[in-house]
Amino acid sequence: MLEQLSWKVGGQQGEGVESTGETFAIALNRQGYYVYSFRHFSSRIKGGHSNDKVRVSLKQYRAIADYTDVLLAFDQESIDVNAHEVRQGGVVIADSKFNPTAPDHVRLFSIPLTKIAEECGSAIMKNMVSLGASACLLGLPIEIFREVVEERFLRKGQRIVDQNMEAISRGFNHMKELGGADPEFALRPADGTRRLFMMGNEALGLGALAAGARVMPAYPITPASDVMEYLIKQFPKVGGVVVQTEDEIAAINMTIGAAYGGARALTCTAGPGLSLMMEAIGLAGMTETPVVIIDTQRGGPSTGLPTKQEQSDMLAALFGTHGEIPKIVLNPATTEECFTVVGKAFNLAERYQCPVIIMTDLQLSLSKQTTEPLRLEDVVIDRGAVADEADLAAAAGGEFPRYRLTDSGVSKRVFPGTKGGLHHVTGVEHMETGRPNETAGNRKQMMEKRMRKLQGVEIEDSVVRTGDESPDIAIVGIGSNIGAIAEAKEWLQRDGLKVAHVHIHAILPFPKRQLQEALSGAKQVVVVENNATAQLRHLMSFFGVDCPHAQSFLKYNGQAILPVEIYEFCKEMN
Amino acid sequence: MATVKDFRNNVRPNWCPGCGDFSVQASIQRALAGLGKEPHEVAIVSGIGCSGRISGYINTYGFHGVHGRALPAAQGLKLANRHLTVIAAGGDGDGFGIGLNHFMHAVRRNMDITYIVMDNQIYGLTKGQHSPTSAHGFEAKTTPQGNIENAIIPTQVALGAGIGFLAQGFSSDVNQLVQLIEQAIQYRGFALVNVFSPCVTYNKINTYDWFREHVYNLDQVPDYDPTDRAAAMQMVVKTGGLATGLIYRDDSRVPYEDQIPGYPEQALVEEELALSEEIFQNALKQFA
Ligand SMILES: Cc1ncc(C[n+]2csc(CCOP(=O)(O)OP(=O)(O)O)c2C)c(N)n1
Ligand code: SF4
Ligand SMILES: [Mg+2]
């Protein structure tokens, strides 16, 4: 009996790999399993190997496994590319159509997927046949797929639903005849609790909706586009608007214009777009306009690895803009956090009147995962300091002091269209009224006003620490690596080591104090990140975290970090 | 009701005496007063350049952004508050050099905003380099032996992009310019008023006198039909882009804001932001 399962489907891009993986994942999620899926794809629509790897367990692991129990292969290439990770005695289910061959350490089940599908009505249902075969192997009833099949195909008619269920059933039976109902592979039953299943990008979109976002100008880019595609479907319900702009420069400037106008506005991009936005992010800082920018990191630089995992935009997010502005950078790690982080980002942006960058990474943005209940009450809306009647009356006759010097550095906003609120806004250095002024005294005063806003500010829960006190080893991570680290930690603890997991959820203002505290007493420190130059570790020392013995675990080949890799790295240190 | 005086503030422009931009400033002020607007109902969003300073010289809401990006910022503002009168303004370099991409797409998008370009065929603020509207052969700091590139003809580009309202003015003819700006603001959709606004300091070729000699004033062509796009294109080509007056308008267009599914009549800035539990629960179903 399997306590957990690592399952993979592979084939040519465009031949239903994704929908097969998704149907399987959704069906199992609804049985109460925790499911985490990771897509391997390339920047083309048809052709090229792609695969969908799904982790199924009774406990939440937000990482894919380094091995595979079961591989569904739609072509020989999928076997050639993936069989090495199929464990000893693992199963490969392949389409007889291409006379599959597989290495000796696996058990190959050759099933006429395409032929059965054609007999059921259409060759495209071969993925359903393969799902049936999987169900047989795993001891799952085929009925678990019915709901998903109905949701997919009922609008095309009951006949299509029946055909698909028939294909699943035939696959199941064929597998059974081949002796594929193996108790060793029977998956331990789950409790049937129904949870959400979504990717980070969808959670961000839903979070934006809940946060009162109403304007989203953006330019399509992998892996960010789902956010705009999600919101364009949802916004008509609340009166919001998504504009697909001509480029990211337009996107950020339009976002700034809308925020200046008083709407909650955000944009979403990946590394190349973030680079294009840099000048205007400075404008938002200088004009104290609250905007939210989501950067879904992918492999850089340049076009880099557009469909692969990386976390290499951190320095760009912090230091990319010329000049000096106050700025906040948040780094969610899970889908649940993606949901709440947008509201938090808007609140911070409006409270401190500065740009806020939310950084995800491809793995977090695109991995569909079981998600604990999301609650609307976890998103509160705080619009920060906005002028009221009394403020407007006080300014009557003159200009509204939009950039009034205050102790906190924060001055009240007033939205265009407001009677009595006239003022000027400019990216040129300016006075309290917003009028340009380049004198040395004014410059110093205004620079200090802006920078004062975030002085001493600590973002709550920027660092979350779990695990042992006085650990032999503290593992520091960021973004989607949360799952791999959590799992590696368990394995190391099982080996008798004391381990702490220290996860960073915001890198600006850099949580120096929180991090220092979380690392105190650790004999060794490992910083885990998906880049080649140890950006996070360098930020730690740049911002004065005293941790001279920190070592880096780096991965920059475009692949997700696996628990076993962190485990082995830590074992070698000890 | 607001008068021209209400649209003046006490900021002294840092333009050179005689700069064409003074007339544009005055014309916008007169047009706004003429249309019965109140200062707080108007926002001017401008780019960077001598001309870009204009948003600080008129008593309305003003936003002075980065070089070449006035149009995206103006469109964002319009989306946040569709009841504002939004005017974008800037120079020829700002709008047709670094910002040309945005211009083409703003035309295509067709939000109800007015774009006023102060076209002096030169980069004024950076002290005299050639601009995208400088003629072939034009000598400037960056073309000491004469410009070997061809000029963009803004009116031609605008028509080519499919603009719904196109006018061209000249800083010497303030009466005409006021009228054109008034019509542009009243037009429901994206409107361009390109203004020949001489730079007296760096452009010694395209001077007031030069324009006086070369513009072709459509107000004096009684049978010109500004609703005929083919005729407008012909006129623009025939005059080498020097036709002034109302060149083209198409009143059948529907502005972007009117086509956004579910976009409220009330300005977004006035809307209640909290999401209803019902919409939220419905949105969750997709992931259940
Ligand atoms: C990104 C960027 N590049 C360059 C500049 C420098 N710059 C400022 S204004 C300008 C050109 C101004 O020409 P135009 O738009 O025609 O305005 P004018 O001064 O003639 O009114 C340039 C190149 C800048 N501010 N920003
Ligand atoms: S340099 Fe030219 S454009 Fe600039 S203010 Fe002087 S005259 Fe006007
Ligand atoms: Mg110019």
What's the CA-to-centroid distance between B120 and ligand 3, angstroms? 5
User: Which one-letter DSSP state was computed for residue A97?
Assistant: G
| Residue A440 Cα distances to A402, A431, A436, B11, angstroms | 20, 12, 12, 20
**A250 at B interface, C-beta within 8 A:** yes
Q: Mention every residue, 6+ apart, whose C-beta is less than 8 A from residue A389.
A: none
Sort strands A241-244 and A266-269 into parallel, antiparallel or unpaired: unpaired
Cα distance between the two ends of chain B: 57
Q: Is the pLDDT of residue B36 over 80?
A: yes
Distance from CA of A344 to the nearest CA of B (A): 14
Q: Which of A454, A451, A462, A453 is nearest to A516 (CA)?
A: A462
Residues A80 and A217 occupy one common structural domain: no
- Cis omega before residue A290 (within 30°)? no
What's the CA-to-centroid distance between B92 and ligand 3, angstroms? 5
Task: Determine the Cα–Cα distance for residues A473 and B272; give it in Å rounded to an integer.
Answer: 49
Confidence (pLDDT) at A112? 98
pLDDT digits (tens, 9 = 90+) for A71-81: 999 999 999 99
Query: Per the structure block, which two tokens stand in for A186?
Result: 């029977």
Task: Determine the Cα–Cα distance for residues A415 and A383; give it in Å rounded to an integer.
Answer: 12
Half-sphere exposure of B248 (CA within 13 A, CB side): 29
Tell me what percent of the residues of chain B surpass a pLDDT of 70. Answer: 100
* DSSP-derived secondary structure for A130-148: HHHHHHHHHT--GGGGHHH
User: Which one-letter DSSP state was computed for residue A418?
Assistant: -
What's the CA-to-centroid distance between A104 and ligand 1, angstroms? 68
Q: How many residues does chain B have?
A: 288
Task: Report residue B189 CA to chain centroid gap.
Answer: 12
Task: Determine the Cα–Cα distance for residues A512 and A462; give it in Å rounded to an integer.
Answer: 10
Beta strands in A403-540 (DSSP E): 424-426, 463-467, 473-478, 499-504, 506-508, 524-529
Task: Determine the Cα–Cα distance for residues B35 and B42; give it in Å rounded to an integer.
Answer: 11
Q: Is the pLDDT of residue A14 over 90?
A: no
Which of A165, A194, A223 is a domain's end point?
A: A194
Half-sphere exposure of A560 (CA within 13 A, CB side): 30
> What residue type is assigned to position A278 of the chain?
M
Which of A457, A491, A512 is a domain's end point?
A: A457
Confidence (pLDDT) at A574? 82
Q: Mention every residue, 6+ apart, whose C-beta is less than 8 A from residue B124.
A: B19, B49, B50, B51, B91, B199, B201, B202
User: Which one-letter DSSP state was computed for residue B11?
Assistant: P
Q: A498-512: b or e for each residue (b if 16 or more CB lie within 10 Å)? A: bbbbbbbbbbbbbbb
Task: Determine the Cα–Cα distance for residues A204 and B249; give it in Å rounded to an integer.
Answer: 42
**Mean per-residue pLDDT of chain B:** 98
pLDDT-derived band at A44, boundaries 50, 70, 90: confident
Tell me what percent of the residues of chain A surpass a pLDDT of 90. Answer: 97
Task: Determine the Cα–Cα distance for residues A296 and A360; give it in Å rounded to an integer.
Answer: 5
Residues A109 and A202 occupy one common structural domain: no
pLDDT-derived band at A102, boundaries 50, 70, 90: very high
Q: Is the pLDDT of residue A46 over 90?
A: no
Which residues between 375 and 434 in chain A have a beta carbon less than 8 angstroms from any beta carbon of chain B?
376, 379, 381, 399, 415-428, 434
Work out how many CB contacts closer than 8 A connect A with B.
200
Domains of chain B: 4-285 (3.40.50.970)
* Predicted complex ipTM exceeds 0.95: yes
3-state SS assignment for residue B266: coil
pLDDT digits (tens, 9 = 90+) for A334-388: 999 999 999 999 999 999 999 999 999 999 999 999 999 999 999 999 999 999 9
Confidence (pLDDT) at B41? 98
Query: Per the structure block, which two tokens stand in for A301?
Result: 């630089």
**Which residues sit opposite B85 in a β-bridge?**
B42
Domain that holds residue A276: 198-378
What's the CA-to-centroid distance between B129 and ligand 1, angstroms? 10
Q: How many domains does chain A have?
A: 4
Facing A258 at nearest CB: one of B76, B83, B260: B76
Residues A363 and A444 occupy one common structural domain: no
Query: Per the structure block, which two tokens stand in for A114?
Result: 């395409």
Task: Report residue A38 CA to chain centroid gap.
Answer: 11
User: Which one-letter DSSP state was computed for residue B204?
Assistant: S
Distance from CA of A234 to the nearest CA of B (A): 8
> What residue type is assigned to position B260 of the chain?
I
Task: Report residue A274 CA to chain centroid gap.
Answer: 16
Question: Are B22 and B65 spatial neighbours (Cβ–Cβ below 8 Å)?
Answer: no
Tokens 């998504």 belong to which residue? A242
Sort strands B42-46 and B61-64 into parallel, antiparallel or unpaired: parallel
SS3 content of chain A, % helix, strand, coil (to 5): 40, 20, 35
Q: How confident is the model over A542-556, as a mean pLDDT?
A: 96
Question: Are A222 and A357 spatial neighbours (Cβ–Cβ below 8 Å)?
Answer: no
Task: Determine the Cα–Cα distance for residues A42 and B131; give it in Å rounded to an integer.
Answer: 42
Confidence (pLDDT) at B8? 97
Which of A378, A410, A433 is a domain's end point?
A: A378
pLDDT digits (tens, 9 = 90+) for A408-455: 999 999 999 999 999 999 999 999 999 999 999 999 999 999 999 999
> What residue type is assigned to position A520 of the chain?
S
Atom 2 (ligand 1) nearest CA? B67
Question: Are B79 and A261 spatial neighbours (Cβ–Cβ below 8 Å)?
Answer: yes
Confidence (pLDDT) at B279? 98
Beta strands in A488-550 (DSSP E): 499-504, 506-508, 524-529
Q: Is the pLDDT of residue B231 over 90?
A: yes
**Which residues sit opposite A508 in a β-bridge?**
A329
| Residue A100 Cα distances to A69, A80, A107, angstroms | 18, 10, 12
Query: Per the structure block, which two tokens stand in for B45?
Result: 């969003």
Sheet with A368-371, edge to edge strand ranges: A107-111, A86-95, A68-73, A4-12, A49-57, A34-40, A368-371, A196-199
Tell me what percent of the residues of chain A surpass a pLDDT of 70. Answer: 100
Q: How confident is the model over A180-204, as a mean pLDDT?
A: 96
pLDDT digits (tens, 9 = 90+) for B245-272: 999 999 999 999 999 999 999 999 999 9
Residues A10 and A158 occupy one common structural domain: yes
Q: How confident is the model over A321-335, as a mean pLDDT?
A: 98
pLDDT digits (tens, 9 = 90+) for B77-99: 999 999 999 999 999 999 999 99
Probe residue for ligand 1, chosen from B54, B126, B130, B194 as the CB with the greatest number of ligand atoms within 8 Å: B126
- Cis omega before residue A301 (within 30°)? yes
Instruction: Determine, for residues B65 and A253 on separate chains, whether the beta-carbon distance falls below 8 Å.
Output: yes
Tokens 């064929």 belong to which residue? A174
Residues A177 and A211 occupy one common structural domain: no
Q: Which of A273, A322, A320, A319 is nearest to A298 (CA)?
A: A273
Question: Are A459 and A330 spatial neighbours (Cβ–Cβ below 8 Å)?
Answer: yes
Q: Is the pLDDT of residue A43 over 80?
A: no
Task: Determine the Cα–Cα distance for residues A569 and A572; give it in Å rounded to an integer.
Answer: 5
Question: Considering Cα of B29, then B34, then B40, then B44, what sign does the dihedral take?
Answer: negative
Question: Are A530 and A305 spatial neighbours (Cβ–Cβ below 8 Å)?
Answer: no
Q: How confident is the model over B137-144, as a mean pLDDT?
A: 97
Number of Cβ within 10 Å of residue A556's Cβ equals 18
Q: Is the pLDDT of residue B26 over 80?
A: yes
Residues A258 and A406 occupy one common structural domain: no
- Taking contacts as CB-CB distances below 8 angstroms, the residues of chain A near B255 are none
Residues A495 and A367 occupy one common structural domain: no
Q: What CATH number corresponds to the domain at position A567?
A: 3.40.50.920
Q: Which of A260, A136, A12 is nearest to B76 (CA)?
A: A260
Task: Determine the Cα–Cα distance for residues A340 and A379; give it in Å rounded to an integer.
Answer: 6
* DSSP-derived secondary structure for A358-383: EEEEHHHHH-EEEEPPP-GGG-----
Q: Which of A353, A292, A291 is nearest to A326 (CA)?
A: A353
Residues A208 and A153 occupy one common structural domain: no
pLDDT-derived band at B5, boundaries 50, 70, 90: very high
Task: Determine the Cα–Cα distance for residues A22 and A388; give it in Å rounded to an integer.
Answer: 50
Considering every ligand atom shown, identify the ligand nearest to the alpha carbon of residue B49 and give its number. 1
Instruction: Determine, for residues A257 and B45 on separate chains, whether the beta-carbon distance falls below 8 Å.
Output: yes
Q: Is the pLDDT of residue A274 over 80?
A: yes
Question: Are B102 and B57 spatial neighbours (Cβ–Cβ below 8 Å)?
Answer: no
Q: Is the pLDDT of residue A230 over 90?
A: yes
Question: Are A239 and B263 spatial neighbours (Cβ–Cβ below 8 Å)?
Answer: yes
- Taking contacts as CB-CB distances below 8 angstroms, the residues of chain B near A236 are 261-263
Confidence (pLDDT) at A41? 84
pLDDT digits (tens, 9 = 90+) for B149-185: 999 999 999 999 999 999 999 999 999 999 999 999 9
Tokens 């205007």 belong to which residue? A280
Q: Mention every residue, 6+ apart, whose C-beta is less than 8 A from residue B79.
A: A215, A241, A243, A254, A257, A258, A261, A263, B111, B257, B268
Q: What CATH number corresponds to the domain at position A36?
A: 3.40.920.10
Residues A208 and A338 occupy one common structural domain: yes
Residues A220 and A185 occupy one common structural domain: no
| Residue B211 Cα distances to A19, A25, B217, angstroms | 65, 70, 11
Residues A178 and A224 occupy one common structural domain: no
Q: How confident is the model over B133-141, as a mean pLDDT?
A: 98
Residues A33 and A161 occupy one common structural domain: yes
